Amino acid sequence: MYESSLWINGRAIEETAAARIDVVNPATEELLGTAPTAGPAEVAAAVEAAQHGFDVWSRTTPWDRAIVLRRIAALMRERAEDLVTLVTLEIGKTRLESRIEVTAATEYFDWAAEEARRLGGYFRSGRTAGSRLEVDHEPVGIVLALAAWNYPIILASRKLAMSLAAGCSVILRPAEEAPGCVSALIRCLHDAGVPAGVVNLLIGSPGAVVEPLMANPAVRKVSFTGSTRVGQLLVAQSAHTVKRLTMELGGHAPFIVLADADVEKAASMAVTARMRCAGQVCTAPSRFYVDRSIGEAFTERVTALSRALKVGNGMDDSVQMGPLATRRQQERAQRLVADARDRGARVTCGGGRPLGFNAGYFFEPTVLTNLPDAAAILHEEPFTPIAAIVTVENAEEAVRRANAVEFGLAAYVFGRSSDAIGRVTSKLQVGVIGVNTVAVAMAEMPFGGVKQSGYGREGGVESIHDFLSTKFVHHAPG
């Protein structure tokens, strides 16, 4: 039975005066169930609870916070299959992809537990005899955490783990497409011993939930994952109360294949990274810049591997790619392919809804070549299972094209020459780079972008400090 609830002050709330929202299975277009949403009363109650929770949690020692964080990770592992099922039902990704997501999410709580124990200030001798300089790090306050729908568990976990490690309280708003799995995640937190009020969950529209919280001066920090357009709105809304922001925004990752690259390895990883979660990954490579000398071989192999993928309902363990999460994503894919075709591009595989699927937001793994510079897919974040391949004359052209968009989240470089790779990576305007790998997000390392892909980092030692304020005290002799 499908369940979803708000969480305020340690209690699950399954009914409110506000309207309920429908949650649809993208593989079948059938109704999974409905979820309660927050109105003004729930928003006000969540802020009050978070203020009380902050008073309690900020005074909890880092070592005790670490114990709770480890319990959260342990409970998530115990309940992993339930979380996996909910993610697959709500978002459509395969059970394997959902399992990888849940596993990675637990690692953020484990990592944050270790980092919490390392938090502390420091002292320096002053400039005059008997004086002392003290620096301390204090939790910033109430955090508004806004998670996207494509990785509902891991995106929420990144924000929750780092906030809790720092000693902050949190009001989390999940995407309306995936409230059930995040509600189940919050139950893990409360069952692990997070005090009442420290973590609160509000489901609802941006107008009902986000806007009043952005206007509330009690909310001191915002951590957002989503589109650049929405990120820009949040930056503007934050100005009046001068909130601190972590913005993980859109991406349009270049995948550069140098002349000496292992074509088989590059093609295999290209398909894996592009088509996982039906292409709905902010770091997924979407613009493939391939040296002309190996362009034909690379395109043929990517096409063959993409065509061989089994598409279907993610609940079937034999399926390799599920549906897109929403109808608007399916329509975006159709629009991008139509635009490319109209401009003379060649579709080497895919290009539409797969045969035999009369329901569900399915779209074929698609490969486009012969793309003119004006093609929309080379400028817009596609977030769909479409690979756009462009041949280039040399690495310099690849870098120039890679940097030509305003996105700067991730990039990938494949080749054998360390000197050539070094020249490319030093010039790429992005926050994370994979060299002969597509693994660029992990708990122990900082993750985030530059330019219009945002600022701030999630993961690594840098991320916790985004939730801390620095205080300097100068002690002079009395």
Together in a domain, 95 and 139: yes
- Helical (H) or strand (E) element with 290: strand 285-291
Model pLDDT for residues 50-59, shown as the tens digit of each residue? 999 999 999 9
Residue 363 confidence class, pLDDT cut points 50, 70, 90: very high
Spatial separation of the C-alpha atoms in residues 97 and 169, rounded to whole Å: 30
Predicted local confidence at residue 3, as pLDDT = 92
Mean pLDDT of 417-432: 98
Asked, for residue 432, whether it belongs to a domain, the answer is yes
Asked, for residue 447, whether it belongs to a domain, the answer is no
338 by DSSP, 3-state: which?
A: helix
- 282 noted as active-site residue: yes
Spatial separation of the C-alpha atoms in residues 466 and 289, rounded to whole Å: 35
Asked, for residue 146, whether it belongs to a domain, the answer is yes
Predicted local confidence at residue 478, as pLDDT = 87
Predicted local confidence at residue 374, as pLDDT = 96
**CA neighbor of 346 nearest in space, from 379, 372, 382, 316:** 372
DSSP-assigned beta bridge partners for residue 246: 223
Residue 101 confidence class, pLDDT cut points 50, 70, 90: very high
Specify the residue for token string 């979660």. 277
CATH number for the domain harbouring residue 22: 3.40.605.10
Spatial separation of the C-alpha atoms in residues 360 and 256, rounded to whole Å: 33
Q: Model-level pTM? A: 0.96
Model pLDDT for residues 37-47, shown as the tens digit of each residue? 999 999 999 99
Together in a domain, 165 and 259: no
CA angle 18, 21, 22 (to 5 degrees): 155
Together in a domain, 181 and 216: yes
Model pLDDT for residues 228-262, shown as the tens digit of each residue? 999 999 999 999 999 999 999 999 999 999 999 99
Catalytic residue among 282, 349, 381, 458: 282
Number of domains within the chain: 2
Together in a domain, 358 and 231: no
Model pLDDT for residues 178-196, shown as the tens digit of each residue? 999 999 999 999 999 999 9
Asked, for residue 343, whether it belongs to a domain, the answer is yes
Residue 470 confidence class, pLDDT cut points 50, 70, 90: very high
Together in a domain, 59 and 190: yes
Together in a domain, 364 and 404: yes
Percent with pLDDT over 70 in the chain: 100
Together in a domain, 272 and 402: yes
First and final CA of the chain: distance in angstroms?
67
Together in a domain, 264 and 128: no
Together in a domain, 142 and 166: yes
**pLDDT of 149 above 90:** yes
Q: Which domain holds residue 123?
A: 6-249+452-475
Spatial separation of the C-alpha atoms in residues 451 and 340, rounded to whole Å: 26
Residue 462 confidence class, pLDDT cut points 50, 70, 90: confident
CATH number for the domain harbouring residue 393: 3.40.309.10
Catalytic residue among 248, 364, 381, 458: 248
339 by DSSP, 3-state: which?
A: helix
Alpha helices in 276-435 (DSSP H): 292-308, 327-342, 395-402, 418-427
Together in a domain, 336 and 459: no
Mean pLDDT of 471-475: 97
**pLDDT of 1 above 90:** no
Q: How far is CA 453 from the centre of its chain?
A: 12
Predicted local confidence at residue 468, as pLDDT = 97
403 by DSSP, 3-state: which?
A: coil
330 touches 351 (CB < 8 A): no
Predicted local confidence at residue 419, as pLDDT = 97
Asked, for residue 243, whether it belongs to a domain, the answer is yes
Together in a domain, 327 and 281: yes
Together in a domain, 291 and 344: yes
Residue 86 confidence class, pLDDT cut points 50, 70, 90: very high
Mark 370-393 as b/e (b = at least 16 C-beta within 10 Å).
Answer: bbeeebbbbebbbbbbbbbbbbbe
* Residue 42: count of CB within 10 angstroms of its CB: 23
DSSP strand E in 314-375: where? 346-349, 366-369
Which amino acid is located at 127 in the chain? R
Mean pLDDT of 312-335: 97
